[in-house]
Amino acid sequence: MKVGGVSVPLDFSQIELLAELGELNNISAASSKIGLSQSAGSHALARLRLTLGDPLFVRTSGGLRPTPYGAGVARAAADALRALRESLEAGRSFDPTNTRRNFTVYMTDVGQTVFLPPLLAMFGKEAPAVSLDVAVIPAEGQVAALESGEVDVALGFFTTLNSGFRQRLLFRERYVCVTRADHPAFAKGMRLEAFYATGHAITTASGAGHQLLDHLLERQRIRRRVVLSVPQFLSLPMVIAESDLLVMVPSQLADAFAKLVPIKVMEPPMRIPEYEIRVYWHERYHHDAANRWLREQFIRMFQR
């Protein structure tokens, strides 16, 4: 530290002693509080007096009392120690019931449909003042946003979050075919001929899972007769329920659609491998208590 522009060497135990003396006004009690003998505490106080050029604490008829300068230094030492303890504890503990923390999460439109309703219900019960921002997943810059803490976690199927990241598997997902419930071409279930003959709706939404589906169909030389292309999945339930179109969507999204409109969900007529839905976070935030709490909620609620 500097006093009057001059650098003054103080060790940690001296700062602790000053803080405790300001509280206790007793060299024996203050020394014991920080793990020193009375003799060691007295020697430390003597060195402080010499270093700072002030008696700091003097004996009076009422016991040991600080000089004006000593009182100010003791308060500063106590404030410094308090700030240090709070900083050390800030990343170690997190109380969801008593925080206004805002979290930012990467999540696709499919993830928003599937995960947000139960997640927000949980927040309402266990973390009523917590808020959530769902960030648009950019084509580039995903890694940097998670590294910097701009985004807390990513939820879904990602192929870019490798080096420097931790992850946990939540579940394996698969694509299914969805049509309106009374579609005449599928009255007896899925047929390959009907799959090819029926017009398809597709999405151009970004997302590794959608790209994986396109790649798998291309490898099998399966061409869909695309009639409708939309930027997001969320516009499709009403379209499918009121048309003769077919759409391939993740099974959990199909289940969510089925709660809203009358549709039929069928397995594809060709083999489409499953893919893995994971929660990802950067190594920098592995020990951060708030980040840990958030990802543990995803694991607790959605892992199977």
The tens digit of pLDDT for each residue in 184-216 reads 999 999 999 999 999 999 887 665 566 778 778
Confidence band of 116 (pLDDT split at 50, 70, 90): very high
Backbone angles phi, psi at 94, to 5 degrees: -150, 125
Mean pLDDT for all residues in the chain: 88
| Confidence at residue 82, expressed as pLDDT on a 0 to 100 scale | 86
* Helices marked H in 25-172: 27-33, 38-52, 68-90, 109-126, 142-148
Confidence band of 246 (pLDDT split at 50, 70, 90): very high
| Confidence at residue 91, expressed as pLDDT on a 0 to 100 scale | 57
pLDDT at 140 over 80: yes
| Confidence at residue 92, expressed as pLDDT on a 0 to 100 scale | 67
pTM of the model: 0.69
Which among 108, 104, 103, 152 is positioned nearest to 275, based on CA atoms? 108
pLDDT at 299 over 80: yes
pLDDT at 181 over 90: yes
Q: Which of 81-85, 151-155, 220-224 has the highest mean pLDDT?
A: 151-155
Q: Which two tokens stand for residue 96?
A: 């969801």
d(CA 304, CA 302): 6
Q: What is the pLDDT of residues 94-104, one digit of tens each?
A: 889 988 899 99
| Contact yes or no for 86/21 (Cβ under 8 A) | no
pLDDT at 2 over 70: no
| Contact yes or no for 260/149 (Cβ under 8 A) | no
Could you tell me which residue, 37 or 3, shows the higher pLDDT?
37
| Confidence at residue 264, expressed as pLDDT on a 0 to 100 scale | 96
| Confidence at residue 3, expressed as pLDDT on a 0 to 100 scale | 47
Which among 158, 176, 178, 177 is positioned nearest to 168, based on CA atoms? 158
d(CA 31, CA 38): 6
Q: Is the dihedral of CA 81, 86, 87, 92 positive or negative?
A: positive
Q: Is the dihedral of CA 254, 258, 260, 262 positive or negative?
A: positive
d(CA 284, CA 163): 12
Which among 229, 228, 227, 235 is positioned nearest to 261, based on CA atoms? 235
Which among 288, 281, 203 is positioned nearest to 237, based on CA atoms? 203
Q: Please, what are the domains in the chain?
A: 2-90 (1.10.10.10), 96-172+276-302 (3.40.190.10), 175-273 (3.40.190.10)
What number is the average pLDDT over the span 264-280? Answer: 92
Which among 239, 209, 253 is positioned nearest to 117, based on CA atoms? 253
Which among 157, 182, 189, 179 is positioned nearest to 170, based on CA atoms? 157
